[in-house]
Amino acid sequence: MNISIRTAAPSDAEALLAIYAPYVKDTAITFEYDVPSREEFTARIEKILQRYPYLIAYSGTEILGYTYAGAFHERAAYDWAVETSIYIKRDNRRMGIGKTLYHALEKALMAQGVLNLNACIAYTDTQDAHLTNDSVSFHERLGYRKAGEFHQCGYKFNHWYNMVWFEKHIGEHTLNQSSVKPFKEIEKNMPWFGQNIH
């Protein structure tokens, strides 16, 4: 399968929401209870794109998955850290799409000057129909390491789930650290736009 990467647009909201909705309704991968409206999802995309990458993987006219980064915390000292998220169309998992998307996201964030990637992952001691720990394994394969765990902090489907934080450093931490650039400033220079990835 040929996979291409591009920046999401607010007009993609309906297609991206179709990917996200089953994760809300059927899994504990997200702790969100209700599927957001198209208007709410559009607003989320617009907010992310004000500062960070929001990327789509597609083949032909089909959107296969998406990833984005958001603020880790709002305080200024956290500017070099982001929280990452990724969702793949459920029929297209285990095909390398997630790895392709995350690599593209990393390149964009590195170009911005981001140093720390943080992933907040639902975790269970006993896997069930709503949650496996595949996301943990996925992040470990991509070089993330566990930074902490909160126990029984998420309640969904009449079950208590844990949450783990995973982190990855993608840049050098120095004195007189350069400011992080908005994604729009570096987007046009990203080498993976318009390329097919096999």
Cβ atoms of 165 and 146 closer than 8 Å: yes
pLDDT for 145-168, tens place per residue? 999 999 999 999 999 999 999 999
User: Going by DSSP bridges, is the β-strand pair 116-123/145-156 parallel, antiparallel, or unpaired?
Assistant: unpaired
pLDDT for 98-130, tens place per residue? 999 999 999 999 999 999 999 999 999 999 999
pLDDT for 52-83, tens place per residue? 999 999 999 999 999 999 999 999 999 999 99
Name the CATH superfamily housing domain 3-173. Gcn5-related N-acetyltransferase (GNAT) (3.40.630.30)
Cβ atoms of 88 and 98 closer than 8 Å: yes
The SS3 assignment for 37 reads coil
List the single range of 84-88, 106-110, 121-125, 192-196 with lowest mean pLDDT: 192-196
Mean pLDDT, all residues of the chain: 94
Q: What is the pLDDT of residue 193?
A: 55
For the chain, the domains span 3-173
Q: What is the pLDDT of residue 95?
A: 74
